[in-house]
Chain A
């Protein structure tokens, strides 16, 4: 199977000197659905911004479908990665749903008849056909998130990247989203803390903590390893859970 995404020893510090990535290496192959989980501030979102060059590091290499991500290759790379951001209000910036979904295809230089067709397909794929003329600020969060997914599907990228797709969704909305994501045939990288969703969707799980990948393996094995989860702030130790006031103790 072809390697869709490869990262080698990626390091990055924010301008204030705070190191966010401290040598990340990973590789994702075609058809995989991989989860990247980790506590707040682990560097997950920072890592995502490197995938299509929104952030650039001097140290380390990111390859998308064999092509190194650098200024010259932005155009092709951005076409190959469909990035769904955490807050759909950031992703949906046009007056109507149609314009938003058409934004990517138009930038790719598609003809208008083609754009019309692609937009309808993408909206139907996320179950939002008929919403073309609605304006994004009149939609619910779940609907906005679906439209945000449609905006990247319209560009038919081989790799889809989701940043916290289930955050702030109600349980029904979350399971509808899981069903939707399960139906998408593309290679997927999902960043989340939502272990329930990860278990339902992904075959492989990577844990990231303090700017490093600390575990990488089969979903079942990783999520069953309780000590590993506790060590990476993804689960709370049994003794802390039981006693009252223990969370306060652990904070102190």
Chain B
């Protein structure tokens, strides 16, 4: 029996957990699009989105720290994308690095743009993580299917979520078996055994795939599978989606409104 961090907060029983997965998915999509649509360097809007996210997380009774911590995984990836922006963007120079007689200027516009992209990515991933923390994989996939995502992709994701744990167990057994027999040895030997292990894992997965397919055929599978449809939209689902829609629109528009008032 293995409880995975992915399932950690799936049963807090909050009203957000009970919402229709389609609605939660659409709400997530709306929020991500809204965050992306915020005009550049409107920090107020980003602050409001952060507050909205935190409110939703509090309502779902998932620890805020958990979501913030997990959402920080996106930072290195975005950093890789934006790290050169401050140097190559045109604009006012606020500092410089000198490598011998090579002068590299750090531009204000570039720094702001990098920070802006970072904010967008971080807020978006927060919405996605609060979705996955409050929705079971099975439910989410059913929701996506109802939203007309191609069946084959649904099945692929379903198998992946089912067997990722089985495979990680297998990998763990393999590495335990290796650790109990390998003492010392150079890096070359380690890399070699690692290669064998990856190969063994691949072959095992391949064979498992065949057995699973056999088990599916034995139960009448003929290439297209029907899922059981248990989803139904309730009043509260519609209200939730509407609230998210309106809130996101307002947050995106606030900076424009403020500017038109002051201007």
Contacts and interface: CB of A to CB of B under 8 A. Distances in A.
A95 B137 contact: yes
B164 to A, nearest CB: 9
A54 B218 contact: yes
Interface in B75-93: none
Contacts of B3: 138
B15 to A, nearest CB: 18
Contact of A95 (B2, B138, B220): B138
B166 A99 contact: no
Interface stretch (A20-28, A30-38, A75-83, A241-249): A75-83
A78 B162 contact: no
* Dominant SS among interface residues on chain A: helix
A52 B7 CA distance: 37
Interface stretch (A60-68, A102-110, A231-239): A102-110
A161 to B, nearest CB: 9
Interface stretch (A7-15, A85-93, A197-205): A85-93
Contacts of A74: 217
B227 interface: yes
Nearest to B211: A90
B7 to A, nearest CB: 8
Interface in A82-138: 83, 85, 87, 89-96, 98-99, 102-104, 106-108, 112, 115-116, 135-138
A101 to B, nearest CB: 10
B162 A152 contact: no
Contact of B218 (A78, A96, A116, A137): A78
A166 interface: no
A47 interface: no
B169 to A, nearest CB: 9
B211 A87 contact: yes
B212 A95 contact: no
Contact of A112 (B136, B215, B218, B228): B228
Contact of B220 (A54, A108, A116, A140): A108
Contacts of B206: none
B158 A94 contact: yes
A151 interface: yes
Contacts of B229: 112
B216 interface: yes
B232 to A, nearest CB: 12
A54 B214 contact: yes
Contacts of B221: 103, 107
B241 to A, nearest CB: 24
B221 to A, nearest CB: 6
Interface in B182-212: 208, 211-212
Given A49-B214, A137-B165, A96 B138 contact: yes
Given A90-B208, A107-B226, A81 B218 contact: yes
A85 B1 contact: no
B211 A136 contact: no
B181 interface: no
Contact of A152 (B159, B216, B219, B225): B219
Contacts of B228: 98-99, 102, 106, 112, 115-116
B141 interface: yes
Tell me which of B1, B158, B217, B220 has the highest count of chain A C-beta atoms within 10 A of its own C-beta: B220
Nearest to B3: A138
Contacts of A103: 216, 219, 221, 225
A155 B220 contact: yes
Given A54-B214, A106-B226, A155-B219, 17 more contacts: A52-B218, A75-B222, A83-B218, A89-B166, A91-B215, A92-B162, A93-B158, A93-B159, A102-B228, A103-B225, A106-B228, A107-B219, A107-B221, A107-B226, A135-B136, A136-B162, A140-B1
15 contacts: A74-B217, A81-B218, A87-B211, A90-B214, A96-B136, A103-B216, A103-B219, A104-B220, A106-B225, A106-B226, A116-B228, A135-B162, A137-B165, A137-B166, A138-B7
